[in-house]
Chains A and B, each alone.
Chain A
């Protein structure tokens, strides 16, 4: 069972629908027992980093996520959920993340020209820097994904798996052992996005 972690941030309807579309058994989980029962975990997230990180801590699920990933369970963070995998974020101050991956979350403005619009919104192509990343099994370099974000992971050479070009290089996906992250929304990225979710369902546990 794929556990979609519900910690009160955002709507899981599209994610649940997209896993159903790839034939996966996905369930919305919101307590320690649910996270432990799942074979794989999805950490979603929208909105502000601080709110989301506070809510995850308030539910106590941050500790369960760390416990379960330490035990080898595959985890995929999506959008803000991916950003929370890192040590910290500089969105409106400085806030602590889960620290599963080395690096920090910084404004994309740091790496793109001033005449580029923020947020980075729309369909952009992936350049796979780790083509052997298991969740890329069914996609190709250059496939387009749907992005909506103003911040991205920086100093993350340790886990960088794909970038996208927007006047500069933005972090699009990360991978380290059993921890995966997508800055884009696979559940809104058409057939290519569903391919990523399908591949995540097939990652060896």
Chain B
């Protein structure tokens, strides 16, 4: 049986992991390579590297880090942040990324999804969407959640899937950072609308939140989180064990 994936997300700026981390046994807690190895050994099913630098120098450092990670970590790597053109896809795929996540780049130019899917295959194109409730509807936000696009989220997601997006990361801005659990209502709306894998993001505060997610919404394929893993509030090995104890298919390493 296919397992539910657990995906830590690392924000990288100028070659360093941004959010503070503190693990025993890690020499350099801000080294993306070290942290990626740590998570891979602990049983992470996939990693997301999010490039939050804007400068050319930061971008070069990011691709160096990515290359070094792909040399040492042998689980799927998804890269996001600053992906605006197919050249950006090319740049990170050559450094060892397996999938590329687009967000604002697709909002500015939806054809990017179609073109990238044609060049690299649907499985390579991940659509990431920041969604927030506005006036009773799910609204797509751009630029890291700073700008309301006015677009309704489910129809935007459906449109991108039609153009070739192979996976969807749904990040609920309403539950993000609250640690009160995933946004089941929003995720359900997306799962009912598309037939590609859906990755839940935003709101996980403890292992039980993942159990609730996968039990309530069997169509959700994966759960993504950042700080709860980085701060050690949820340990991936424990999470996998708790999932298995609750009858959720999980890969235990």
Contact = CB atoms under 8 A, between A and B. Distances in A.
Contact of B195 (A117, A144, A190, A193): A117
Interface string B68-86: 0011101110000000000
A125 interface: yes
B3 A144 contact: yes
A148 interface: yes
Main secondary structure of the interface of A (DSSP, over half): mixed
A189 interface: yes
B35 interface: no
A6 interface: no
B1 A124 contact: yes
Given A188-B98, A190-B253, A121 B74 contact: no
A115 to B, nearest CB: 9
Given A123-B2, A123-B5, A194 B74 contact: yes
B3 A187 contact: no
Interface string A13-57: 110011011000000000000000000000000110000000000
Interface residues of B, number: 30
Contacts of B5: 122-123
A18 B96 CA distance: 11
B96 A14 contact: yes
A188 B74 contact: yes
A13 B70 contact: yes
Given A13-B94, A117-B196, A188 B76 contact: yes
A146 B123 contact: no
Interface in A143-167: 144, 146, 148, 165-166
A18 B195 CA distance: 32
A95 interface: no
Contacts of B3: 122-125, 144
A121 B123 contact: yes
Interface in B171-211: 195-197
A131 to B, nearest CB: 20
A94 to B, nearest CB: 21
Contacts of A120: 2
B95 interface: yes
9 contacts: A13-B70, A13-B94, A14-B98, A122-B45, A122-B222, A123-B5, A188-B75, A189-B75, A190-B74
